[in-house]
Amino acid sequence: MAHSPKITLVPGDITEQHVDAIVNAANSSLLGGGGVDGAIHRRGGPEILAECRALRAGHYGGGLPTGRAVATTAGRLPARWVVHTVGPVWSRDEDRSELLASCYRESLRIAAELGARTVAFPAVSAGVYGWPMEDAARIAVETVRSTQSAVEEVRFVLFDERAYRAFAEQVHSS
Ligand code: AR6
Ligand 1 atom nearest to CA at 40: 7
Identity of the residue numbered 27: N
| Total number of domains in the chain | 1
Residue from 22, 29, 128 to probe ligand 1 pocket by mutation (most atoms less than 8 Å from CB): 128
Classify residue 76: in a domain, yes or no. Answer: yes
CATH number of residue 135's parent domain: 3.40.220.10
Q: What is residue 1's predicted lDDT score, i.e. its pLDDT?
A: 62
Q: Is the ipTM above a cut-off of 0.95?
A: yes
CA distances from 160 to 23, 65, 91, 122, 150 (A): 17, 28, 23, 11, 29
> Which residue segment(s) compose the domain that 12 sits in?
6-173
Give 33's contacts (C-beta < 8 A, 6+ positions apart).
26, 27, 128
What is the whole-number distance in angstroms between the Cα of residue 105 and the centre of ligand 1? 18
Contact 55, 70 (CB under 8 A): yes
Does the model's pTM come out above 0.80?
Answer: yes
Residue 10: enclosing H or E segment and its boundaries? strand 6-11
Distance, in Å, from the CA atom of 109 to the CA atom of 87, rounded to the nearest integer, reads 16
Distance, in Å, from the CA atom of 169 to the CA atom of 163, rounded to the nearest integer, reads 10
Sequential pLDDT tens for the chain (174 residues): 679 999 999 999 999 999 999 999 999 999 999 999 999 999 999 999 999 999 999 999 999 999 999 999 999 999 999 999 999 999 999 999 999 999 999 999 999 999 999 999 999 999 999 999 999 999 999 999 999 999 999 999 999 999 999 999 999 987
What is the whole-number distance in angstroms between the Cα of residue 15 and the centre of ligand 1? 12
Q: Using alpha carbons, select from 12, 74, 23 the residue that is nearest to residue 44.
A: 74
Identity of the residue numbered 141: V
Q: What is residue 2's predicted lDDT score, i.e. its pLDDT?
A: 79
Classify residue 1: in a domain, yes or no. Answer: no
